[in-house]
């Protein structure tokens, strides 16, 4: 039986890796096409575009992993079926349950890979990629620290303590320097919103430093013409795809402590938690399909069926995620339902084959 496990593992895992590689090449190609339109803006070059695409591929791999696992499993087991090897195994007395166990053992190796990509590699590479791209296009040097977001804007330095959705900022400090690097104006605004091509600052306290002394004033509102734009600030907004599980857990606690809604992050958190189980479900689902309706069809039809199922799973994930946000569904329920639907379908199909 160990020899059987090894043979099935080699076939299934090998085809999963090849399938993921092909899907990643396609995803990278289409992403690069999208990036070509931004080449030439600021300091963004062709080399930067290629680097950006390479750095976000781990996140793409994590997103397409369920589809890649299902497709690879269908192709691998399909090859065994086409060569009558599955029939030989059954004729030798190997039960369907035993074959499923061997396939699931192969899935355990793939789980380690998806955890490595989703929790270690993808969050770090995507954050760096998005920051690098934004800085190149806007020609601005930025930094995120424990004291908020910092950016250079001409002869000024800007410190933003809180970035809100909808191009809104809170607690903004602007330090304007002369060409001799002497501080001329220090401005604090309680709130800012992007309107058209400029920022509207509100609740302003401004201090001007002159040779004759220091002059302070308060303003209800004023416009601020800055090179800093919302697209650059979007890079430092914490997005669920950029956080590992432990980062999501801490950020959800932070948002709850500050009285903010965190449903989007909770759905992402539970999706990452059950991701290993989803991977096993996809591997399991390939078995009844190969023994059932896809037993005697060609590889093209297997690929089509796998792609269709993978897209269906992806859409179900998106739909239930949005329903959790809009209708207040339990985040764990919303994250688990697509996997449970596919698991139920697979169990029903196995019983039908028996």
The domains located in the chain, with CATH, are: 2-138+237-353 (no CATH), 142-227 (2.30.30)
**Cα(321)–Cα(332) distance, rounded to whole angstroms?**
10
Q: By the 8 A CB rule, do 226 and 199 touch?
A: yes
pTM over 0.85: no
Report how far residue 249's alpha carbon sits from residue 257's, in angstroms, rounded to the nearest whole number.
12
Mean pLDDT, residues 135-151: 67
Inter-residue contact 190 to 160 (CB < 8 Å): no
**C-alpha span between 39 and 48 (Å, rounded):** 8
DSSP state of 234: G
Q: Given CA atoms 324, 127, 277, 350 in this order, what sign does their dihedral have?
A: positive
Among 30-34, 129-133, 150-154, 242-246, which range has the highest average pLDDT? 30-34
Task: Among 32-36, 168-172, 281-285, name the most confident range.
Answer: 32-36
Say yes or no to pLDDT of 50 above 90: yes
State residue 30's pLDDT score: 92
What average pLDDT does the structure give for the chain?
81
Would you state the structure tokens that stand for residue 280, as one six-digit string? Answer: 């096993």
For the chain, the helix, strand and coil percentages under 3-state DSSP, each to the nearest 5:
65, 20, 20
> In angstroms, rounded to a whole number, what is the distance separating the alpha carbons of residues 318 and 326?
12
Measured CA to CA, the distance from residue 86 to residue 82 in angstroms comes to 9
Question: 3-class DSSP state for residue 197?
Answer: coil
Q: What pLDDT was estimated at residue 26? A: 92
pLDDT tier at 28, thresholds 50, 70, 90:
very high
- Who's near 264: CB < 8 A, 6+ residues apart? 240, 321, 325
Residue count of the chain: 354
Does residue 84 register a pLDDT over 70?
yes
Angle between helices 275-291 and 46-82 in degrees, nearest 10: 40
Max avg pLDDT among 86-90, 260-264, 290-294, 333-337? 333-337
Task: Evaluate whether 327 touches 303 at the Cβ level (below 8 Å).
Answer: no
Helices and strands: H and E segment counts in the chain: 11, 7
Question: Minimal CA–CA distance to 174: which of 201, 193, 143, 195?
Answer: 201
Give the DSSP H/E element, type plus range, for residue 95. none
């Amino acid at each position: 039986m160990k020899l059987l496990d090894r043979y099935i593992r080699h076939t299934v895992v090998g085809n999963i890796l090849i399938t993921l590689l092909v899907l990643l090449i396609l995803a990278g190609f289409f992403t690069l096409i999208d990036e070509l339109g931004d080449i030439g803006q600021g300091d963004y070059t062709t080399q930067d575009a290629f680097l950006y695409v390479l750095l976000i591929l781990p996140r793409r791999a994590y997103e397409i992993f369920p589809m890649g696992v299902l497709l690879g499993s269908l192709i691998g087991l399909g090859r065994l079926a086409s060569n009558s090897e599955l029939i030989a195994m059954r004729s030798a007395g190997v039960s369907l349950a035993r074959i499923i166990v061997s396939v699931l053992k192969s899935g355990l190796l793939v789980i380690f890979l998806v955890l490595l990509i989703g929790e270690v590699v993808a969050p770090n590479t995507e954050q760096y990629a998005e920051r690098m791209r934004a800085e190149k296009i806007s020609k601005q040097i930025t930094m995120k620290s424990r004291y908020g977001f910092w950016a250079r804007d001409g002869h000024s330095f800007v410190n933003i303590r809180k970035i809100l959705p909808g191009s809104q900022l809170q607690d903004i400090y602007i330090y304007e320097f002369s060409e001799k690097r002497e501080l001329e104006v220090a401005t604090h605004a309680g709130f800012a919103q992007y309107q058209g091509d400029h920022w509207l600052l509100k609740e302003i306290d401004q201090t001007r430093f002159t040779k004759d002394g220091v002059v302070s004033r308060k303003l209800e509102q004023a416009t601020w013409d800055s090179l800093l734009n919302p697209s650059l600030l979007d890079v430092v907004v914490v997005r669920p795809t950029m956080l590992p599980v432990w980062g999501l857990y801490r950020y959800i606690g932070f948002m709850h402590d500050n009285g903010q809604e965190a449903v989007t992050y909770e759905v992402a958190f539970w999706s990452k938690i059950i991701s290993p189980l989803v991977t096993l479900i996809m591997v399991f689902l390939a078995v009844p399909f190969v023994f059932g309706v896809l037993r005697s069809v060609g590889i093209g039809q297997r690929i089509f069926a796998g792609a269709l199922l993978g897209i269906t799973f992806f859409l179900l994930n998106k739909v239930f995620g949005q329903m959790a946000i809009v209708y207040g569904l339990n985040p764990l329920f919303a994250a688990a339902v697509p996997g449970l639907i596919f698991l139920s379908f697979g169990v029903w199909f196995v019983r039908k084959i028996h």
